């Protein structure tokens, strides 16, 4: 009976209008389930589980790491982040999970922040007391060290010394750089990097990623203002890449999020390619709502079918500069062997 019903309905389901309607219903149902799961688990809506708390911790401590990159440390910077971190770091669940790499480094960065201000002879007692500092050291216990730093100092030659090494050394040598000279990268060198980036895998070899180069300084500054996460480093950014992925290349409702997967794969390949050709770069987060990202169309014209995956300030790195430590998890935390 079921086969007979399918046989009768098949011609109806192939009518364009009917097929389109059913696909739209399927798409909306799937997006609704996506939204439900995001609402249930994402830290944007929850702060109950250890992973939610850890995500909040990382967001705040990494902001301090970036503040420590400046040649002249701004005294008392990041007050908002400091207050957030005090709340997080006294949470018993956080304290009791000190063995997790990201929690441990959160305490370490906070200790470094206090010590930096002590060396600067700048009083921060109004936001960070000696009692809080001593508590964080006690939580760290044997892990505490005055040698810890949330930033790494480089000179240009050392930073690029492994770009022609084996992949293990090469991969570990790539880091986000925010300090540029303002000198532009030759377009031919960018083209060579793009040829290498184009080796990225994509679903069914559809190759839906595009990269746009912006060199107009006024447009660059406006785009970075919209991005709102690169403040303090924009002065010497004279070139900007915008990575997009084109919705035109996707077939099924099941591929509704494939543009982010393929875009992410291309982004990583692009970052490696830029590093290989000694082009400084820093992927700047583009986690925007539709309303937040719409002003970019007043700056540059992008096809409506294309979704911005990431924007990348690029340039010639300073002779000497700092990068954030951005400590990675141990494999015990994110490599899981299933029975």
SS3 for the chain is CHHHHHHHHHHHHCCHHHHHHHHHHHHHHHHHHHHHHHHHHCCCCCCCCHHHHHHHHHHHHHHHHHHCCCCCCCCCCCHHHHHHHHHHHCCHHHHCCCCCHHHHHHHHHHHHHHHHHHHCCCCCCCCCCHHHHHHHHHHHHHHCCCCCCCEEEEEHHHHCCCCCCCHHHHHHHCCCCCCECCCCCCHHHHHHHHHHHCCCCCHHHCCCEEEEEECCHHHHHHHHHHHCCCCCCCCCCCEEEEEEEEHHHCCCHHHCCHHHHHHHHHHHHHHHHHHHCCCEECCECCCCCHHHHHHHHHCCCCCCCEEEEEEEEEECECCEEEEECCCCCCHHHHCCCCC
22 and 54 co-located in one domain? no
**Is 235 domain-assigned?**
yes
User: Residue 84's pLDDT is what?
Assistant: 98
**Is 339 domain-assigned?**
no
Of 116, 149, 182, which marks where a domain is finished?
Answer: 149
**Is 329 domain-assigned?**
no
274 and 207 co-located in one domain? yes
User: Residue 19's pLDDT is what?
Assistant: 80
283 and 215 co-located in one domain? yes
200 and 56 co-located in one domain? no
pTM for this model (two decimals):
0.93
**Is 332 domain-assigned?**
no
**Is 338 domain-assigned?**
no
User: Residue 163's pLDDT is what?
Assistant: 98
The 3-class secondary structure across 247-299, one letter per residue, is HHHCCCHHHCCHHHHHHHHHHHHHHHHHHHCCCEECCECCCCCHHHHHHHHHC
Report the CATH number that the domain containing residue 205 is assigned in CATH: 3.40.109.10
161 and 292 co-located in one domain? yes
User: Residue 330's pLDDT is what?
Assistant: 95
166 and 215 co-located in one domain? yes
Domains identified in the chain, total number: 3
34 and 128 co-located in one domain? no
**Is 333 domain-assigned?**
no
197 and 171 co-located in one domain? yes
Tens of pLDDT, residue by residue, the chain (339 residues)? 666 656 655 665 566 677 888 899 999 999 999 999 999 999 999 998 999 999 999 999 999 999 999 988 999 999 999 999 999 999 999 999 999 999 999 999 999 999 999 999 999 999 999 999 999 999 999 999 999 999 999 999 999 999 999 999 999 999 999 999 999 999 999 999 999 999 999 999 999 999 999 999 999 999 999 999 999 999 999 999 999 999 999 999 999 999 999 999 999 999 999 999 999 999 999 999 999 999 999 999 999 999 999 999 999 999 999 999 999 999 999 999 999
224 and 307 co-located in one domain? yes
Find the domain containing 71 and state its range. 50-149
290 and 172 co-located in one domain? yes
User: Residue 1's pLDDT is what?
Assistant: 60
User: Residue 71's pLDDT is what?
Assistant: 86
107 and 206 co-located in one domain? no
Token match 């389109």: residue? 20
Give the separation between CA 304 and CA 297, rounded to whole angstroms.
10
User: Residue 153's pLDDT is what?
Assistant: 97
Of 106, 129, 149, which marks where a domain is finished?
Answer: 149
Of 149, 181, 212, which marks where a domain is finished?
Answer: 149
């Amino acid at each position: 009976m079921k086969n007979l019903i399918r046989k009768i309905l098949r011609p109806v389901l192939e009518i364009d209008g009917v097929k389109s309607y059913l696909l739209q219903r399927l798409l909306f149902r799937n997006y609704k389930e996506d939204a439900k799961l995001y609402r249930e688990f994402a830290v944007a809506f929850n702060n109950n589980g250890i992973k939610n708390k850890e995500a909040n911790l990382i967001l705040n401590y990494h902001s301090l790491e970036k503040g420590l990159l400046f040649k002249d440390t701004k005294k008392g910077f990041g007050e908002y982040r400091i207050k957030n971190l005090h709340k997080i770091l006294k949470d018993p669940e956080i304290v009791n999970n000190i063995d997790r790499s990201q929690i441990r480094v959160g305490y370490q960065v906070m200790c470094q922040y206090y010590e930096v201000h002590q060396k600067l002879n700048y009083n921060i007692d109004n936001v960070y007391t000696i009692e809080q500092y001593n508590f964080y050291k006690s939580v760290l216990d044997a892990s505490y060290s005055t040698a810890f730093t949330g930033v790494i100092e480089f000179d240009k030659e050392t930073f690029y010394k492994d770009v022609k090494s084996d992949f293990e050394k090469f991969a570990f040598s790539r880091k986000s750089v925010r300090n540029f000279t303002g000198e532009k990268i030759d377009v031919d060198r960018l083209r060579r990097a793009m040829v290498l980036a184009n080796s990225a895998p994509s679903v069914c070899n559809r190759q839906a990623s595009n990269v746009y180069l912006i060199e107009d300084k006024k447009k660059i500054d406006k785009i970075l203002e919209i991005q709102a996460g690169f403040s303090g480093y924009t002065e010497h950014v004279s070139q900007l890449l915008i990575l997009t992925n084109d919705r035109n290349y996707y077939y099924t409702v099941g591929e509704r999020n494939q543009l982010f997967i393929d875009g992410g794969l291309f982004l990583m390949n692009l970052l490696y390619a830029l590093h290989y050709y000694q082009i400084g770069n820093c992927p700047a987060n583009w986690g925007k709502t539709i309303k937040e990202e719409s002003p970019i169309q007043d700056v540059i014209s992008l096809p409506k079918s294309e979704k911005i995956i990431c924007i990348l300030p690029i340039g010639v790195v300073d002779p000497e500069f700092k990068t954030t430590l951005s400590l990675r998890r141990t494999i015990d935390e994110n490599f899981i062997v299933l029975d």
